[in-house]
Structure 1
């Protein structure tokens, strides 16, 4: 008579032991108390897990190399949408790497066999996801009509002014207490934000003719559902210890705000500005459904009897989602020369869609996009960067432009510390997060790193030219005619110099801390 799978699973967990040949506390200690036994979030034997994931990977890689390659699918997709896949894959791949590190730290830290099995499987998932997304980048580099940028995405995320905030966000998966990392990763990012990214985004990709991205992203999201279970099990374990509650709420509040600062603004740009064939919903609609109602209302609110409250600043986040993505799109477009992707201008059809879905959009943003379209022709010799006066400083905490949620109602706060160093913050929450632990937030912003550098020199130094050595990878349009393509000579003629705007602000605008 065969033994039930559930019985085998329980037996395997009994083999967990504490090794005597090294001290577990020496690696990644945690301030949290974790009970030695809890409910198992995974309940899948390794043998079953491996065969299941092997079958999924075979389907994913097979579809990319066979059917989709033979159909030359990327050439059929909307060019505007294909451009946004360049930063999306680069940034999301880094998030997967951070998730891999987080899960491996948890395996080392948490002496709980039920939780550790889930963490181990998640670590294997994250290795697969890193490889799948790197493979998709390679696939697009081989098959996309304009491959420039796909081949340099991983390098770009180290220096691009909008990829750096992504790194700052996703480094929170691996640079703190392992349980704090898990709150950022499993409880907030994977549970609140992977549905908009891996589910709703695939709908957008398919609507724009990209069939390759859904084949990879939907496979990944089927794993994320298990990772959400890991997050719930982690929360349940932490909440059983009363001494954890105050620490958990502080970490949870901070984690949500930090994930919101980048993910909501980044995804707002991706959804609303890089699509020709738009779905019926705007990013704000997706956010209301997946984050506000599903995650906040149906998930976190039900944990309130156990001691965990809704994130302190979730109301501020809801308010910011109305305009934050539009502001970020404007700043991103103005920075087009330093990107490894093309930033298309908006048309009258786009204007109509925005005004329908975000009433008041035309009043606040149409002027910029009209001017941006006029400056797309290099013969005019004008850069959109010059139209943003003054240029926004970057937040010391989240590294985002400090003009959110909208330039005319921005919530920027300025401070100067005892050493005389100036800091900008995009919002009161980021300022408060800084004051909780200033030592964590002393890194240089993109403006500070490149202060005084000529724009032409920056482009050459960071390899932002195409194979001909003169045409920029980034362009303020999608035209392919040589007449429309900006070259490094066009940039030199502008004589534009990158300057940290924080330096020019009057001293009396700063609060002393």
Structure 2
């Protein structure tokens, strides 16, 4: 075989299906784990991966990437580069490691499920490489922050975060459990590899790697680049899976799965990436605003694939497009106000120069959000920092588990969802931040009804004492771990 070209042996080596004799299709590919029985086994044989690779090539590529990335880390770790990074950018790193490291390990479960329960041999082969990818991503993103512990002890939240009930983690864990831990192979292919990876994270990693290099964070830039090249390959499992479903008359199911997860991905993506791009990245290093990024890479480019595959835009598309202009700004204001509840130091990003930039990128920002920062800034200048902290907990959405927010200064009737939305299921009333979140819940309430938000836990008596201090202890945040203003309020005082 070493003397043959890959085209001479590839299809033969990967096509390992056989006729079952001692077990039924349902026993080998149970629907709860496979999700493939809408389509016949013969039809699944048409599944063909866009990116083809053999094990020898895979190992060679991964060794090369690891050698380069770990060598760079070893060199950088002996320097003062991290110490010289902008405080806001350090928060980007800490937020990323805490929210993403453990989900990378969990994504290996999703890939392994496709590697075992995908109906096509070609699909199982591709997913096997995907599982190896995700294990590597978890390991490398746990190892890199470990090297920062002597400089930033909260880097241990790369491992600790998902072992706590922090409110950010509750939201992320709910998303990833829904997407791949508690999901079937077909749904994982559409919701993880197509919707999240192709539509959001693959693009995000490209941008983050470039931003890291711009701010001088060579270590993080190399890490993210190394991961992105894997994502670009195994994220392509969604495309042939969508094609099989549509060709066999199941466009409606494919559309539902994507509509469902696009909204959920957008919610968490806007929190992590929106805050990083528009507030935490140093002003001089911002290549584009978060809105410009979404417009160029999601609305114009990724969304075109909906039509290329014969799908429609999600039914809430206009709502999504409008939210790009304000949602992450509202979340940012909440995260900064509740800064003790997160494991990084939120950067207000509201200095005079930054406010000029925000108003240019988001006309009307000063009228809707700037006036809130005016009050905060005045309290800080008067020495009343205590007035900038919350006294109670916000309402949380029972689907995405993020705070229910609205932009200040906007006429209530001008919003799509002007007030928290309600739905009663089995005698209990659930609250939602948006119509799409409510729609996802009501389509499959049995999937989400038992997933408790932080407020549910508060009302159930799990948090003692029932105040902000009790909530911080419940979320695993000791005083040294609690977030503070990234610049020590220099943005407000002009110092």
- TM-score category, normalised to shorter length: 0.7 to 0.9
Deviations 1:252-303 (A, max 9, x none): 2111111112212431111111122332310100101110111012x22212
Once the two structures are TM-superposed, the CA of residue 75 in structure 1 deviates from its matched residue by 1.1
Q: 1:52 aligned to 2:44?
A: no
SS at the partner of 2:148? helix
- SS of the residue corresponding to residue 386 of structure 2 reads coil
Structure 1 residue aligned with 2:346: 343
Match of residue 207 from structure 2? 200
Superposed CA deviations along residues 149-206 of structure 1, whole A, max 9, x for unmatched, are 2113433343222232122222212222321122111111111112432011122222
Over 3 Å counting, the alpha-carbon distance change for 1:170 and 1:376 in structure 2 is farther
Q: Is the 8 A contact 1:104 1:119 kept in 2?
A: yes
Contact 1:106 1:119 in 2 (8 A): yes
1:251 alignment counterpart = 257
Whether 2:78 is the aligned partner of 1:75: answer: no
- Cross-structure match for 1:114: 122
2: CA distance between counterparts of 1:460 and 1:40?
48
Change in CA separation of 1:480 and 1:334 when aligned onto 2, cut-off 3 Å = closer
1:393 and 1:402 in contact (8 A); partners too: yes
Deviates more, 1:31-40 or 1:215-224: 31-40
CA contact (8 A) 2:15 2:122 kept: no
**Equivalence for 2:169:** 163
State the distance in 2 between where 1:148 and 1:28 align.
40
- When residues 370 and 205 of structure 1 are mapped into structure 2, their CA distance, relative to the original with a 3 A threshold, is farther
2:124 & 2:246 partners in 1: Cα distance?
17
Is the Cα contact below 8 Å between 1:195 and 1:290 reproduced in 2?
no
- Which of 443, 453, 456 matches 1:445? 453
* 1:40 and 1:114 in contact (8 A); partners too: yes
Among 144, 152, 156, the residue aligned to 1:151: 156
Give the corresponding residue for 2:421: 414
Alignment CA distance shift 1:372-1:287 (3 Å): same
Count of residues in Structure 1 that have an aligned counterpart in Structure 2:
467
Q: Is residue 2:432 matched to residue 1:425?
A: yes
Change (3 A) 1:324 1:406: farther
* Residue pair 2:142, 2:158 contacting (<8 A) in 1 also: no
- What is the CA distance between 1:426 and its match in structure 2? 1.0
Q: Distance in 2 between matches of 1:434 and 1:407?
A: 30
Separation in structure 2 between the aligned mates of residue 175 and residue 15 of structure 1, nearest angstrom: 27
The corresponding residue for 2:324 is 321
Match of 1:231 in 2: 238
Q: 1:76 to 1:47 in 2, by over 3 A?
A: same
Question: 274, 279, 289: which is aligned to 1:282?
Answer: 289
Cα 1:461–1:328 change in 2 (3 A) is closer
Q: Does 1:9 align with 2:17?
A: no
Corresponding residue number in structure 2 for 1:504: none
Q: What residue is the counterpart of 1:492 in the other structure? A: none
Match of 1:359 in 2: 363
Q: Deviations over 1:87-136 (max 9, x none)?
A: 21121223323321111111111231221111111111111111111112
- What corresponds to 2:136 in structure 1? 128
* SS at structure 1 position matched to 2:431: strand
Inter-partner Cα distance in structure 1 for 2:229 and 2:337 = 37
Distance 1:413 1:29, change over 3 A: same
Q: So what's the TM-score if we normalise by structure 1?
A: 0.84
Could you say if the C-alpha distance between residues 184 and 479 of structure 1 is closer, same or farther in structure 2, counting changes exceeding 3 Å? same
CA distance, structure 1, for counterparts of residue 147 and residue 481 of structure 2: 22
* Residues 419, 132 of structure 1: alpha-carbon distance in 2 compared, 3 angstrom cutoff: same
- Contact 1:173–1:182 under 8 Å retained in 2: no
CA–CA separation in structure 1 for the residues paired with 2:78 and 2:22: 54
Question: Structure 2 vs 1, CA of residues 371 and 153 (structure 1 numbering), >3 Å: closer, same or farther?
Answer: farther
Match of 1:499 in 2: none
- Give the direction of change, closer, same or farther, for the CA distance of 1:370–1:71 in structure 2 (3 Å limit): same
Identify unmatched segments of 5+ residues in structure 1. 485-513
Query: How far apart, in 2, do the equivalents of 1:456 and 1:391 lie?
Result: 11
